Structure 1
Amino acid sequence: MTVTGKKLTASPGAPGIPYYTPAQTPPAGTPLETDAELPTLFTPLKLRDLTLQNRFAVSPMCMYSADDGHLTDWHLVHIGAFALRGVALTIIEATAVTPNGRISPEDSGLWQDSQIAPLKRIVDFVHSQGQKIGIQLAHAGRKASTLSLWHAGARNVATEDLGGWPDNLWAPSAIAWDEGYPTPKEMTVAQIESLVQSFADAAKRAVQAGVDTIEIHGAHGYLISEFLSPISNWMEWAGQPSWDLEQSKRLAALLPDLGVDLLDVSSSGNNPKQKIELHPSYQTDLAGAIRDELRKQGKTLAIGAVGMISTAEMARSVVQADGKLAGEKDGTIELDGEHASKPKADLVLIARQFLREPEFVLKTATLLGVPVALPAQYSRAPFKKHRL
């Protein structure tokens, strides 16, 4: 029996949580049978002192539902649903380090201390389920002050009467995102230095709230991405200087020495004229190319892959080598067989499929024949493969 305050219970409570909830031992999504035949998707991933019990992560998703940057109970339910159902790592949506760095007026923020407590409430719940939680820190640059997706249309700019700040956008240069969008202000050196400090301050608040990891948003045409290139991937056809895959490989090789443990590979979003040939692996192929290059150079950096991962088989194939291993040479794994393939990533980051199926981890485990732990409270209702 365990004593929790004045309550006696046979079910130990989750440690370090300011209220009673049953400990999930092991956490949902943990394989119950450990052997060499487990799909890589359900093997642990260690990133420095952070260990994930499977290779699933929730990719940051803008929900446009915060209250002046403060997360609410809506976010608690939204994010908690994934942790409850076996996701090893959930990353909270793009969180602005300054008020004018929000994408929309309803974006998450961490520029003031009052935003720590609602974040910590969510962190505590995720930890109560034995899972890990991260946060993505960001500044939207010239793409800030827009409307949420369900309001956006012909008029996408959030004007002052809608809570926006179209006259206070920051960017490397005074160049608008596109026609009809406000022209940003070119940042001064003092503003750049101030913004660097804002990222540091937000990171400290995130640590104070108890997050396990922090992701810096450097993609999709937001401020950091804007400093790297005026236009980015998929723009090679335009005949202008463009951030491309080769430059991403060079950047990735620098990151381990800067203390980065994982690179979340994504693309597009930095120019409205981009041309993207959509197919199921258009994003994950980029991750695979960067991962291969890093291993050729002997660099230790985990790679995360995103984009259109919507089935159990695709999730499995992203992180697993298929075919007979022929050995390792020059830091790369060689495979025999005409259809052999190498892993493209070490972690799968999924967004929209988790919106469709919060139980995607548990469903995938069933489809792949991997017995995993369920939330203790849900253990009476396991998935049955013939019904999926």
Structure 2
Amino acid sequence: MTKDIKAQPAPEHLVSKFKLQTSKEVDFFLPVNKGSNAKVGHAKELTAETPKLFQPLEITPGFTLSNRIGVSPMCTYSAPSSGSEIGNPTQFHQTHYGSFALRGSGLIIVESTAVAPNGRLSPEDVGIWNDEQAKAWRSVVQFAHSQGVKIGIQLGHGGRKASGIPPADHLQFGIDSSLGGWSDVKGAVVAPSALPFNPDPEVNLQGYVTPTALTTDQVEETVELFGAAAKRAYEIAGFDFVEIHGAHGYLINEFLSASSNKRTDQYGGSFENRIRFLLEIVDAVKSETHPTFLRISADELTPSDPDAWTIEDSVKLAHVLVERGGVHVIDVSSGANNPHAERRPSHQGFQVPYAKALKAAVGDKIQIAAVGGFVDGEFANKVVENGEADIVLVGKTLLKNPGLPWVWADQLGVKINVGRPLEWPYYHPAWKF
């Protein structure tokens, strides 16, 4: 006969050790890591020898990243373009951004999100110009928070490059109301001046229309739109920070550059006037409890145009931002405001020299984020170890592999926290007690 075996209560020390801890941020069962350093992306054992890429970074008091790797803002063109849910993020966005939150990124910057309907880069862009859109972002934010990951939203306005085709040939083709766009609606496509993105009819086949120049009152109203969007992002959606999109030839970039800004009021002419729109937006969105990021195109890459924005202008702007305060991270990209810009080979780190120049200008007064084709962990680590930038933002490579920070950690000999449901096959518990 076999002897009956009765279940015995587990020893108390095992119950406390192995009882699952679940997230309070989401409304479904989700096991999460335990402990004060349990955030996804945080090194499991942090020492003086830990590569700098995987050392925490304090942006402001109480706002610390678990590592220096971030998800660069990348449009997905996946929101409803009409109806009551126009511009709303969907389940796709929760799945998309959730894949990064589980796998080691220290921060996530959500794609360019329009502050007004006519500010969308395409009809399928996400928005945050109303409260319902902000509410729809909550689930995305809550999931990131369940993993301890900081998540922010990029606020943008397309200016003269709004109402474009998503995403192929995006810099060449504008679309009208027959395809859900608004390029044929009088006064809907706006800019600092009535200058089309590309006036060359042989290149700009059916492309961007001549925009309507904003009146001075409309400029001030647009500043208020950014402020209202930031308030929704914080108070309704729960984002940790906002990033102002001042790059890539969109509205703010158009004001900065004398090649696209021919105004004669207080928002045009001198350098000080051309940066006024941006500075007023910084004042409108800044928060005492949340850091503000700013993406800029550090150089217009058009040396043939004496009015083009240059790296020297960006350094000058950075000094102004240091003096005024309100910006905590500058995200350094380049180009896209001039159709005749020089084309450069996009090798790994090709944008880093611009980040390095700005880092040299601001020192430790503002954190600098570098972008540009990062694929290798050792290369990315050298960028931060050498003081060329404080943060590395990754785009396309993360789209292909959301677990890239985890791969880089392996390359650099670091064990990091990832989502609890995913990590156990790699960091197996010891079978002894």
Note the C-alpha offset of 1:242: 1.6
Matched ranges for 1:181-220 at <5 A: 181-208=208-235, 209-220=237-248
Match of residue 291 from structure 1: 359
In the aligned structure 2, how far is the partner of 1:201 from the partner of 1:22? 35
The offset of 1:34, in angstroms, is 1.5
TM alignment of 1:157-306, pairs within 5 A: 157-166=174-183, 167=185, 168-178=188-198, 179=204, 180-208=207-235, 209-231=237-259, 233-256=299-322, 257-278=324-345, 279-295=347-363, 300-306=365-371
Deviation at 1:251, TM superposition (A): 0.6
Question: Residues of 2 paired with 1:303 and 1:275: CA distance?
Answer: 24
Aligned to 2:149: 131
SS of 2:239's partner is coil
Greater Rg, structure 1 or structure 2? 2
Verify: 1:73 aligned to 2:91, yes or no.
yes
Would the alpha carbon gap of residues 103 and 153 (structure 1) be closer, same or farther in structure 2, given more than 3 Å must change?
closer
Look up the equivalent residue of 1:11 and give its one-letter code.
L
Partner of 1:134: helix, strand, or coil?
strand
Which moved further from structure 2: 59-68 or 12-21? 12-21
Using the TM superposition, name which of 372-381 and 96-105 deviates more. Answer: 372-381
1:115-162 per-residue CA deviation (whole Å, 9 max, x = no partner) reads 012101110111011111000000010000001124x48972221011
Are the structure 2 counterparts of residues 182 and 239 from structure 1 closer, same or farther at C-alpha, using a change threshold of 3 Å? closer
SS at match of 1:29: coil
Check whether the contact 2:195–2:211 (CA below 8 A) recurs between aligned residues. Answer: yes
Distance 1:235 1:65, change over 3 A: same
State the distance in 1 between where 2:51 and 2:325 align.
31
User: In structure 1, how many angstroms separate the alpha carbons of the residues matched to 2:388 and 2:307?
Assistant: 27
Amino acid at match of 2:103: R
Q: Please, which moves more after superposition, 275-284 or 40-49?
A: 275-284
Alignment check: 8 A CA contact 1:234 1:276 kept: no
Unaligned runs of 5+ residues in structure 1 are: 2-8, 322-342
CA distance in 2, matches of 1:63, 1:269: 18
Matched residue SS, 1:136: strand
Amino acid across the alignment from 2:372: G
Query: Alpha-carbon deviation of 1:230?
Result: 4.0
1:335-374 mapped onto 2 (5 Å cutoff) = 343-374=387-418
State the one-letter code of the partner of 1:88: G
Deviations 1:222-254 (A, max 9, x none): 000000114473444314222111110111112
Structure-2 residue corresponding to 1:44: 56
Are residue 107 (structure 1) and residue 129 (structure 2) matched? no
Look up the SS of the partner of 1:217 in the other structure: strand
Residue 86 in 1 paired to residue 143 in 2? Answer: no
Provide TM-score, normalisation by structure 2.
0.78
Give the distance between the partners of 1:154 and 1:102, measured in 2 at CA: 14
Between Structure 1 and Structure 2, the one with more strand by share is 1
Give 4+ residue runs of structure 1 displaced > 4 Å after superposition: 152-155
CA contact (8 A) 2:318 2:361 kept: no
Once residues 159 and 304 of structure 1 are traced to their aligned partners in structure 2, the CA distance between those partners, rounded to angstroms, is: 36
Alpha carbons 2:75, 2:111 under 8 Å: kept: yes
Q: What SS does the corresponding residue of 1:216 show, helix, strand or coil?
A: strand
Cα distance, 1:46 vs structure 2: 0.5
| Number of equivalences | 352
Structure 2 residue ranges without an equivalent (≥5)? 1-9, 11-17, 81-85, 199-203, 260-296, 429-433
Asked if structure 2 preserves the Cα contact closer than 8 Å seen for 1:95 and 1:137, the reply is yes
Q: Do 2:74 and 2:110's aligned partners in 1 also have CA atoms closer than 8 Å? A: yes
Q: Letter of the aligned partner of 1:216 in structure 2?
A: I
